[in-house]
Structure 1
Amino acid sequence: MNFGQEQYAGVNRLLNERFGNYGTLIAVHRGTASGSIVENTAAAVTAALASGGDIIEIDVVGSTDGEFFAFHDGNELRLCGVDKDMRAMDNAGIRDLRYRWVDRPGRTASVEPLVELLSSFKGSTLFNLDRSWHWWPTLLPVLAQLNMADQLLLKCAAGNHQAISVLRASPVKFPFMPICRTLEEAQFHLRDEELNTVGVELIAPGPGSAFLDPEIHRVLNTAGVFTFVNAEVLSTGIALFANYDDEEAVLGSPATGWEPLFELGANVIQTDWPWLLRDYRWLREQHGRSGDQAAVALGEYVGR
């Protein structure tokens, strides 16, 4: 099954090829940050790819004078040791910041310009750009100049009509994934011919969510979009998908953390533990996806 409208098949080819190769895709939250590697950096992207990631999430922030960087605002104190809002800083001020615990002589660790980061992976790496919608009026033309539309998945809340109107008007039809909390939101943009809607990010804060029904995932797939769910655990502790998440999978068992997401038919699972999720996906493929064979896969995984 190919996702997206037929008229946008060209720009969606790489994404659909990836689904054809791997089935359920692994999205990596902010890249893989461990040891001396910092989130939202080119090194984190490389580490995420080496760890089994198929799509790499990168956050976007804009300076007051129109430059763009790979950073999740709100983490300035934690990562850089400054109690400032990067969105209120100019380009020069942001470039002066350093990731304090890994910056050292001969290996400067600074906040990376977005265009430089993306350009260094031109050709194959798929990116999920988060928190970029506020800057779309000026960011989209910059992204268009990269000639990487087939690698860039853009998203915003399904109800953010102001941002979506900017995306609709863009001559470059970037793959789009609305963030949805209800089935109505998930279906709202599917037939808009001015949007290249390829997927829907589903938020399920509790057990009563319609998104916990496998039939809903099947219906959305039939309508031409993939379903994207979040297993990563945010520092706020807010449940993104009914507490089927990385902590449950890693500290408990993948049978209760990740397996329900596969059983629902989720097409993309976002995680902070891509190497473990990659291994688990492989075990499911090797031993079957249901019944006794799935139990064997779970046993082998937990027993490692």
Structure 2
Amino acid sequence: MMFGTPQYAQENATINSALALRRPLVAVHRGTGLGSIAENTQAAVVAAVRQGADMVEFDVVRSTDGEFFLFHDGYEALHFGFESKIGTLTAEQIRALRYRWNSDEPYGVTALSDVLTDHPDTLFNVDRSWWFWDTLLPYLDRFAIDGRVLLKCPVETTWLDMLAAHPVKYSLAPMARTHEEVLEVLARDDVNTIGIELIADRPDHVFATPDYTEWLHTQGKLVFLSALTMRSRDHLFCGWDDETSILRSPKFGWDRLTALDPDIIQTDWPGLLIGHLRSTAPYDSPSRSQ
């Protein structure tokens, strides 16, 4: 199955080629931030890829003078010991920061340009960047990305209109919480929506059935599910998450996600999830998508 509409087949070819080889793809949340390696850094991207990630997710901030860096705003106190947003700093000031993850780190904040150029074969899922799309989208145009970037955003007209107006049609998997939001996205043929990230807070949600995945597939859209255990304890998908899978059993977490036949699963634990997928299903076979 080829995801996305025919008019955007070229833009979506790289992601579709990856899905033809293996489903579900494993997207690693903020790279792999473990041990001495902080999340959302160049080192975290390297660690995720070496653990077998098919895709690496990261967040983006913009300096006051218009440069882009990997970081999830709101985590400044954890990483740097101050409360103000690093987006209020210049690029020079951001480059001077040093992570305080488990100890004083020998590396600083990663420039977006470094990740895009140093990982030419990696798929990226770009989260928390939509506030900066007025300058970020033209910035991305400078790089030989070749369809390797999957954007996400809330289902809001402001962001969809911005993508529609931009000449380069980046692949999009917006975050939908209701069927009505999914229908709103499907109605936009001026946006290259290759799939939907489904967010469900409870098991009786309409999204939490194989039938809904099958229906989205008939619409030509891939299904992106998240196994993340959020610090807020909010459920991104019914509580069928990493923590439940690791501390209780995969049958109450990852297995319930895979039973829905998703195309991408996002996790903080790629090594464990990939090992489990390989032990329980033909993970390396495209036959799961047939």
TM interval, short-chain normalised: over 0.9
Could you state the TM-score of these two structures normalised by the residue count of structure 1?
0.89
Q: Is the 8 A contact 1:102 1:109 kept in 2?
A: no
Indicate the SS of the match to 2:174. Answer: strand
Task: Find out whether 1:139 has 2:159 as its counterpart.
Answer: no
Residue 192 of structure 2: aligned partner: 196
Q: Is the 8 A contact 1:4 1:12 kept in 2?
A: yes
Residue 164 of structure 1: aligned partner: 160
Query: 2-side partners of 1:90 and 1:162: how far apart?
Result: 27
Residue 288 of structure 2: aligned partner: none
Shift of 1:87: 2.2
Query: 1-side partners of 2:102 and 2:241: how far apart?
Result: 29
Gap change, CA 1:207 and 1:103, over 3 Å in 2: closer
Of 266, 281, 293, 2:262 maps to: 266
Residue 299 of structure 1: aligned partner: none
Could you state the TM-score of these two structures normalised by the residue count of structure 2?
0.93
Q: More deviation in 278-287 or 247-256?
A: 278-287
Deviations for 1:191-214, whole angstroms, at most 9, x for unmatched residues?
433211101011101223111121
Shift of 1:114: 0.9
Deviations for 1:38-81, whole angstroms, at most 9, x for unmatched residues?
11112111111111211100101111221111000011110112
Q: Is the 8 A contact 1:149 1:174 kept in 2?
A: no
Residue 245 of structure 1: aligned partner: 241
Shift of 1:220: 0.3
Identity %: 42
Indicate the RMSD between aligned Cα atoms, in angstroms. Answer: 1.6
**Which protein, 1 or 2, shows the higher relative CO under an 8 Å CA cutoff with sep ≥ 6?**
2
Structure 2, unmatched stretches of 5+, are: 284-290
Query: 2-side partners of 1:267 and 1:20: how far apart?
Result: 10
Query: 2-side partners of 1:163 and 1:91: how far apart?
Result: 25
Query: 1-side partners of 2:266 and 2:16: how far apart?
Result: 17
Of 118, 127, 136, 1:120 maps to: 118
Q: How does 1:1-304 map to 2 (within 5 A)?
A: 1-101=1-101, 108-122=106-120, 124-158=121-155, 160-285=156-281
Amino acid at match of 1:28: V
Query: 2-side partners of 1:82 and 1:250: how far apart?
Result: 32
Query: 1-side partners of 2:189 and 2:267: how far apart?
Result: 31
Amino acid at match of 2:123: L
Shift of 1:257: 1.0
Indicate the SS of the match to 1:197. Answer: coil
Amino acid at match of 1:44: A
Query: 2-side partners of 1:149 and 1:260: how far apart?
Result: 33
Query: 2-side partners of 1:167 and 1:147: how far apart?
Result: 19
Query: 1-side partners of 2:184 and 2:113: how far apart?
Result: 31
Amino acid at match of 1:78: L
Query: 2-side partners of 1:247 and 1:100: how far apart?
Result: 24
Indicate the SS of the match to 1:275. Answer: helix
Deviations for 1:131-189, whole angstroms, at most 9, x for unmatched residues?
0100001110000111215011111111x211211111111110011110011212322
Query: 1-side partners of 2:188 and 2:265: how far apart?
Result: 25
Q: Is the 8 A contact 2:78 2:101 kept in 1?
A: no
Q: Is the 8 A contact 1:143 1:149 kept in 2?
A: no
Structure 1, unmatched stretches of 5+, are: 288-304
Q: Is the 8 A contact 1:119 1:146 kept in 2?
A: yes
Indicate the SS of the match to 1:153. Answer: strand
Amino acid at match of 1:117: V
Indicate the SS of the match to 2:126. Answer: strand
Q: How many residues align?
A: 283
Q: Is the 8 A contact 1:149 1:175 kept in 2?
A: no
Indicate the SS of the match to 1:196. Answer: coil
Amino acid at match of 2:153: C
Gap change, CA 1:173 and 1:286, over 3 Å in 2: closer
Name which one, 1 or 2, has greater alpha-carbon Rg: 1
- Larger helix proportion of the pair: 1
Shift of 1:286: 5.1
